[in-house]
Amino acid sequence: MSAITTIRPALVGKLNERQVLRILQSHGPLSRAEVARESGLSPPTISKAVAALLKVGLLEEADAPETARGRPAPKLRLASTSSQVLGVAIDGGHCEIVSAGLDGEPHADLATVPTPANYPELLDALEAKARAMMTRSGVTTLGLGVSLPGLVDYRKGCGVLSPNVPMTNSRRPAADLAERLGVECILLQESHALCLAERQYGLARGLDDFAMLDIGTGVGLGAMSSGRLLTGHSGLAGEIGHLTAVAEGGRLCGCGNRGCLETVASDSALAQRASEKLGRRVDVDEVIDLATTGRVDLRAELQEAVRYLAVGVAAVINLFNPSTLFIHSRLFEIEAGLFDVVVRSAGARSLPPSFADCRIVRAKGSKRQGAVAGIIQHLTNAVALDVI
């Protein structure tokens, strides 16, 4: 006797809602009739799905401008004026928080705060900025995404080891903010956030397989395979910055080891060398300003960083064989042509077939964009998640 599978009507409805969301994410604003044509679903089915999505605030309607033939049917779009999400990017020097519509378009109110000295003060600062953005009249805040540097355990929703923001170790900033703010919050490792930002709003649109090398306070890696992030068993995959680059006499890394790649190839590594040369502490913003204006000669320090960065690029190409590798780094702001130098040097260190098959591109996205993309994806995936 053959098995009979019963599909509950409620689940079918959820699948229809998800299909409507995906069509509007791909095509932009459409009328109900246009959504029906794109989906192949009947107009009554579309109307029912749209009504459910309007009710929870994921969609909104906008009147189309009147034409000579009269006023066309209103357009459906991802909520951008009636609902919003927030994105938080935590980093060693400062934290950023931004609001955006569900179409991912950021609002003008980007807030930046110096990273506090301890975790309670960090939560207080982020909560204050978030609450200020949540007071926008007539706008409902649906959720918040948090980008965090270092190791993130997705199963537990906490930071595990953040050499550059150690106050977050064993802490759950997304869960703690959710409790304070009363909205859904999710946690993302910052390299994964960059992957989502590039795929949703940058040069990786339409790509299901690529890698993202993040050169910032540390060195991180995100990899997308078949449209899914490779996170490992607990979410700890991609910590390329803690591969040993200097076997003997290397500098002490925040992870406790010596000679890690991020001690020689990151923004903070260059800032540390510049600080030693100047005899005072400088951050990467000042380093870029000093180097680009010619007030300090940092060519030797920059050449070292570039040499080791090429080693990291070659390692990613050899290990993952990506079709496209995006590199996110402010180091390229210092000198024109520096990116090409890294690519050429990486080519000399990579396996020739893998290098020839890989397109290397400067990333355009940001971690705060990634936090926004992450919470939007989470809200969208929550529709019919139990049947996927």
The reported pLDDT for the residue numbered 186 is 96
Read off the tokens for 115: 């990273």
> Tokens 């004026």, residue?
81
What whole-number distance in Å separates Cα of residue 232 and Cα of residue 151? 11
Domain spans, the chain: 9-78, 84-195+368-381, 203-363
Question: Angle CA(135)–CA(138)–CA(143) in degrees, nearest 5?
Answer: 60
If DSSP codes are grouped into helix, strand and coil, which group holds residue 323? coil
Specify the CATH number for 9-78; select among 1.20.1740.10, 3.90.1150.60, 1.10.10.10, 3.30.300.30: 1.10.10.10
CA distance 25 to 327: 26
CA 237/CA 208 separation, integer angstroms: 18
Run of H or E residues at 285: helix 284-292
Of 187, 97, 185, 101, which Cα lies nearest the Cα of 133?
A: 97
pTM: 0.84
Cα–Cα separations (whole angstroms), residue 382 to 105, 153, 296, 377: 21, 20, 52, 8
Q: Could you count the other beta carbons within 10 Å of the beta carbon of residue 291?
A: 21
* Contact call for residues 293 and 271 (beta carbons, < 8 A): no
Contact 153, 235 (CB under 8 A): yes
160 and 172 Cβ atoms separated by less than 8 Å: no
In this prediction, residue 284 carries a pLDDT of: 85
The number of helices, as runs of H, and strands, as runs of E, in the chain is: 13, 14
Task: Please choose, from the candidates 189, 191, 156, the residue with its C-alpha nearest in 3D space to the C-alpha of residue 172.
Answer: 156
* E strand map for the chain: 59-62, 75-78, 83-89, 94-100, 111-114, 140-148, 151-153, 158-161, 184-189, 210-215, 219-225, 228-229, 324-329, 359-362
For domain 203-363, the question of CATH label 2.40.50.100 is answered with no
Domains 84-195+368-381 and 203-363 share a fold: yes
Helix/strand/coil (H, E, C) string of 358-370?
Answer: CEEEECCCCHHHH
Q: Is the dihedral of CA 356, 359, 362, 365 positive or negative?
A: negative
| Amino acid 1: pLDDT | 43
Q: Which of 162, 90, 93 is nearest to 371 (CA)?
A: 90
* Buried-state track 300-320, b at ≥16 Cβ within 10 A, e below 16: ebbeebbbbbbbbbbbbbeeb
pLDDT in tens, the chain (388 residues): 444 454 556 677 788 888 898 898 888 899 999 999 998 889 899 999 999 999 888 998 887 666 556 567 789 999 988 999 999 999 988 999 999 999 988 988 899 999 999 999 999 999 999 999 999 888 999 999 999 998 899 989 999 988 889 999 999 999 999 999 999 999 999 999 999 999 988 899 888 899 999 998 889 899 988 888 888 887 778 889 889 999 888 898 888 899 999 999 988 899 888 888 888 998 888 888 888 888 888 888 888 999 999 999 999 999 999 999 999 998 888 888 899 999 999 999 999 999 999 999 999 889 999 999 999 989 988 875 544 3
**Residue in the block written with tokens 């192949």:** 40
- The CATH superfamily assigned to 84-195+368-381 is ATPase, nucleotide binding domain (3.30.420.40)
